[in-house]
Amino acid sequence: MAEARPHEQRSLFGEILDWMLAPLLLLWPMSVVLTWLVAQGIANKPFDRELGEMVRVLAKEVSVGAGTERAQAVFKLPAAAAEILRTDEADDIYYQVLGLRGEYLSGDTALPVPGDEDRAPAGEVRYRDETLNNAPVRVAYMWVNVQERAQERVPARDGVAVAPADAPLVQVAETLGKRSRLATEIIKGVILPQFVILPLAVLLVWLALARGIAPLNELQQRIRKRDANDLSPIDERQAPEEVSPLVRAINDLLARLDQSLRAQKHFLADAAHQLKTPLAGLRTQAELAQRQIDAGQHDPQALKKSLQQIARSSQSAAHMVNQLLAMARAENQQQVAQRQVVNLARLATETVRDFVPRALEKRIDLGYEGPESLTRPQAGGATALRHPQGPQVLGHALLLRELIRNLVDNALQYTPAGGTVTVRVIDDPFGQVVVLQVEDSGPGIAPAERELVFQPFYRSLGTEVDGSGLGLAIVREIALQHSAEVAITDASTRSPAPGTLITVRLPASPVAEAEALNSGSAADSSRSTSGSPGPARA
């Protein structure tokens, strides 16, 4: 398969120049053609008037005389008129005179006679183009009105009359030498200056365009000369009005980039500060154990205590690093964009199983409530599927698993021994949302702090839990990436502690939504116990 050719970069200057010069270069040959046609018309008019005058002069010499039976036209060329026809040195002039019935009277017999479609009223001069002796000629012709002359010279009582349709024809033809020379002179006078004006116009367009885009070059130079850390907005007043939308878009990008960089710097500073504590603990315990060995102290209990502290510090550092990596994954837009249909109940049960050993170690009752068998009883003992794939959401499985893990981890950290942590998945009967809840019997979160706890590295005051402060920040980030809502309320536990209930409402996937509409009401949720086939309560 052939490789796709990279898109060729276009020049804005060249693009505008092409669109400006293309019409100009297209109109120039059209101007030449129109100039030629106009020049031909201008050159014909004076010579046509001269030919018409010749026809009228010759027509005056046509008379009607009496014949034996009918009237006859008579033509006699005066010497002055013959001299006029012979004095033109540039062109050849031909004439022809025909009688009442088309009989030849005088002139050149080779001159064509006009056809019936060129017939004109008597006394009106007409013009046409013909070819005579293989040369183009311009012909002026007229039918002479001899009705009155015939009636005056040949009385009707003599039995001689002229038919109304009969009239002598006078034609004068001239070659086109003078006309061509005049048209050529006109064209030279108009076209030749255009050969000078056109390159000059192209040059002026080039200079005007270069001057017009000069502000873009200045804007480019100002941006290029900026320091890498300078993310201040560009002054729109120093940019052309047409470029202002682009400048505003760049300023918006710079503002978002500046905000992102500030957040990253703040995050890195907090991360470095948080990592100092476990790393300092590691170093201190290692140095203490080394001093004890160097001093010859071989107390196993003291050395064991130092090693346990080193293990706790390393575990805390590893947990911090894992949380930082999870935060980075949650902020990765490309990773979130790769979404798929995810069974939230299955993710919740798997996560609960993973935390069972830790819950047993801390003597915390960890359980799960929600869809397990995915069936609900019907009349007659039959069962019908709510929807076979379980409560489904559209998202990234790894990030959603990380969201549940951080909620459960946070609940286990703040719940004292003997407390209760419950993970709950509630399937919306209408198929609009899937609700995830994590409820604990810990000290709770004061209403004033319920927004602050979502900030990175923030920990509630008055607690002695050694956490990273990133768990709920990761939860909020992943929830935002999945268009979900996160809310913190007091738990409904019966223990003296208020407890905390964190609710996440995720939009149901279109598949689950369609299944919910087809299947009807939601399945009844069942709370799992240690002996149930679902996730065990620890």
CATH number of domain containing 325:
1.10.287.130
The token pair at 90 is 């540039």
| 171 within some domain | yes
Residue 494 has pLDDT above 80, yes or no: no
Q: Which helix (H) or strand (E) holds 253?
A: helix 244-294
Where residue 494 sits, what CATH number does that domain have? 3.30.565.10
If one counts the domains in the chain, the total is 3
Query: Residue 54: exposed, middle, or buried by beta-carbon count in 10 A (0-12, 13-18, 19+)?
Result: buried
Whether residue 112 contacts residue 130, with contact meaning beta carbons closer than 8 Å, is answered with yes
pLDDT, mean of residues 280-292? 74
Whether 401 and 488 share a structural domain: yes
State the pLDDT confidence band at 271, using cuts at 50, 70 and 90: low
Last residue of a domain, one of 142, 159, 184: 184
**How big is the chain, counted in residues?**
538
193 domain-assigned: no
Instruction: Kindly state whether residues 90 and 145 are assigned to the same domain.
Output: yes
Q: Are 282 and 325 contained in the same domain?
A: yes
The least confident of 70-79, 97-106, 325-334 is 325-334
Helix, strand, coil % (nearest 5) of the chain?
Answer: 50, 20, 30
Confidence band, pLDDT 50/70/90 cuts, at residue 140: very high
pLDDT band, residue 170 (cuts 50/70/90): very high
Q: 107-121, 178-192, 217-231, 287-301: which has the minimum mean pLDDT?
A: 287-301
pLDDT in tens, 50-99: 888 888 888 888 888 765 566 788 888 777 667 667 666 778 888 899 98
- Look at 475 and 80; give whichever has higher pLDDT: 475
| Lowest mean pLDDT across 6-15, 46-55, 358-367, 403-412 | 6-15
Cβ burial 11-45 (10 Å sphere, 16+ → b, else e): eeeeeebeeeeeeeeeeeeeeeeebbeebbeebbe
Cβ count near 246 (within 10 Å): 15
Q: Which residue, among 162, 173, 174, 160, has the nearest Cα to 62 in the 3D structure?
A: 162
- Residue 62 backbone phi and psi in degrees, to 5: -90, 130
Predicted local confidence at residue 513, as pLDDT: 46
For the chain, the average pLDDT equals 75
Considering the domain architecture, whether residues 70 and 164 belong to the same structural domain is answered as yes
In a domain, residue 441? The reply is yes
Does residue 471 share a domain with residue 349?
yes
Residues 275 and 416 in one domain: no
Q: pLDDT class for 436, splitting at 50, 70, 90?
A: very high
Report if residue 9 sits inside a domain: no
Verify that 254 and 303 share a domain, yes or no.
Answer: yes
* pLDDT tens figures, 199-229: 888 888 888 888 877 777 888 788 888 887 7
Mention every residue, 6+ apart, whose C-beta is less than 8 A from residue 298.
Answer: none
Burial of residue 110 (number of CB atoms within 10 Å: 0-12, 13-18, 19+): exposed
Same structural domain, 116 and 258: no
The whole-number pLDDT of residue 323 equals 64
Could you tell me the residue range of the domain that residue 47 belongs to?
Answer: 14-184
pLDDT of residue 266: 67
What's 454's DSSP letter?
Answer: G
Within 8 A by CB and 6+ apart from 282, the residues are: 310, 313, 314, 317
DSSP letters for 39-95: HHHHHHHHHHHHHHHHHHHHHTTEEEEE-SSSEEEEE---HHHHHHHH--SSS-EEE
Res 188 pLDDT > 70: yes
Q: Give me the pLDDT at residue 427, please.
A: 78
Domain co-membership, 303 together with 437? no
Lowest mean pLDDT among 496-505, 506-515, 521-530: 521-530
Establish if 299 belongs to a structural domain. yes
Does residue 136 sit in the same domain as residue 27?
A: yes
pLDDT top residue among 424 and 526: 424
Integer Cα distance of 298 and 144 in angstroms:
150
Is the torsion defined by CA of 74, 78, 81, 85 positive or negative?
positive
527 pLDDT higher than 90: no
CA separation for the pair 136, 179 (Å, rounded) = 11
User: pLDDT at position 524, please?
Assistant: 39
For residue 142, the cross-strand partners are: 170
461 within a domain of the structure (yes/no): yes
Give the rounded percent of residues in the chain with a pLDDT score beyond 90.
9
**287 and 413 in one domain?**
no
Residues 343 and 486 in one domain: yes
Q: Give domain status of residue 204, yes or no.
A: no
Residue 534: inside a domain:
no
pLDDT of residue 503: 92
d(CA 488, CA 504): 9
- pLDDT-wise least confident of 23-27, 156-160, 455-459: 156-160
The enclosing domain of 87 has a CATH number of 3.30.450
